[in-house]
A = this chain, B = another copy of it.
Amino acid sequence: MADDIVKIKTIGVLTSGGDSPGMNAAIRAVARAAFHSNINVIGIKHGYYGLINDEFEKLDTHSVSNIIQRGGTTLKSARSEEFRTEEGRAKAAENLKKYEIDALVTIGGDGTFTGANKLSKEHGINVVGVPATIDNDIIGTDETIGYDTALNTALDAIDKIRDTADAHERMFLVEVMGRDTGFIALETGIASGAELALLPEELTHVDEVKEQLHDMLKQQRRSSLVVVAEGDETGGAMKLADNIKDDFSQYDVRVCILGHVQRGGAPTARDRVLASRLGAAAVNVLMEGHSEVMVGVVNNALKITPLRVAISKKKALDHTLIDLARVLR
C-alpha cells in the first residue's frame, strides 16, 4: 500500500449477492466521487456474471441521477457459479483489462468480498468492497447499507400486525430476515415492544419460550408478539408455531413471514448517507493505493479493513441490547 496518490483512470463498479436498499445510492456515490477526480466509471451489470460475460457500460453523471431514492439496484445483481472457478475469474480479469479498468468497486456482502479477494489475489486487480446487505453481519462497519431500511420495513409491518393482534388478543409469531444472524430480530423486537425475540445467537429452549409467554399472558397483556429470526435454531416461525400452538390454543396463534418485502423500498436517510459515505470512500482509498480492503464506518469514522479479515467471521450482536430487550418487555 502506498501513501502517494495512485493514478487511476477508470474504475469499474458492480453490485453482487442479495440486493439491499441503498445500493443505488452507493453506485451514485462511487460514480460522482470518481467524476469529481476526473476518473471514468464503467458499470458492470449483473455482478460477477456480467463481469465474465462482458456486460459493461460507461456511466455518466446523468446515468446516476435520480437513483439515490430507488430500492433494488440499477446495475442488477445475479449469482455466478462460474466466478467461483479459476477459469471464470480469469475471464473476468481479461474483460477488466480489455476495458482498461484500473480498479473495481464491489458492492455486496461476504460472498461478494470473497470473490473480489480471489480476483485480486489471482490477477492483481485492485479491489475495494462496499458492505451492503440487510443482514448487517459484516465486521469492520457498525452498519451495512440496507440494514436500517430493512429494519424500518420490518418494524412497520410488525406495527400493523400489532394492530390486528391487539384487536383480537391473539398471539403472532413474526419471522424476519437476517440469515444466520439476529440483528433485525433483536432491534425490531425492542422497537416493536415484542414480548420475545428469538435469535440464532442465543440458545432458544422451546419450553422456556412457552413459560415466558405464559408468564406474560398472566399479566393480562392484550396480545403477544414474538419476533423470530429466520436463522433461529427453532427452525423459524412456522415450525415454532407447530410446537407451541397447542399450549396457547385460546390465543389463536398466527404466523407471519415477512419475507422479501424487507429487501425493497426507498432507502432511509441513514442508509443513503452511509451509502454516500462508503461509495465516495471506496474511490478515495483506491486513489490512495489500497486494495483488497473493505470500507466501513465505525464510531462515526471511516475505517479500512482487509477483505480477508472482513470475511473471516460474522459480526456479533450487542449484548447490552439483548439485556435491554429483557428488561423492557
Contacts and interface: CB of A to CB of B under 8 A. Distances in A.
A273 interface: yes
A328 B28 contact: yes
A148 interface: yes
B324 A280 contact: yes
Contact of A65 (B159, B221, B266, B321): B221
Interface in A67-109: 68-73, 76-78
Interface in A273-287: 273, 276-277, 280
B256 A161 contact: no
Contacts of A76: 166-169, 222
Given A78-B168, A260-B172, A261-B160, A190 B72 contact: no
Interface stretch (A4-12, A29-37, A207-215, A288-296): A29-37
Interface string A135-171: 0000000100000100111011101111111111100
B269 A148 contact: yes
A249 interface: no
Query: Which one of A255, A266, A318 has the highest number of Cβ atoms from chain B below 10 Å of its Cβ?
Result: A266
B72 A163 contact: yes
Chain A binding surface, main DSSP class: helix
A118 interface: no
A296 to B, nearest CB: 13
A153 B160 contact: yes
A259 B256 contact: yes
A222 to B, nearest CB: 7
A28 B263 CA distance: 26
Q: Which 5 A-B pairs have the closest CB atoms?
A: A160-B264, A163-B264, A71-B163, A72-B163, A19-B167
A301 to B, nearest CB: 8
A164 B276 contact: no
Contacts of A234: none
B65 A222 contact: yes
Contacts of A206: none
A268 interface: yes
B163 A321 contact: no
Contacts of A328: 28-29, 32-33, 36, 276, 280
A130 to B, nearest CB: 14
A191 interface: yes
A265 interface: yes
Contacts of A192: 68-69
Nearest to A221: B65
Nearest to A25: B191
A39 interface: no
Contacts of A36: 327-328
Query: Which one of A65, A142, A269, A299 has the highest number of Cβ atoms from chain B below 10 Å of its Cβ?
Result: A269
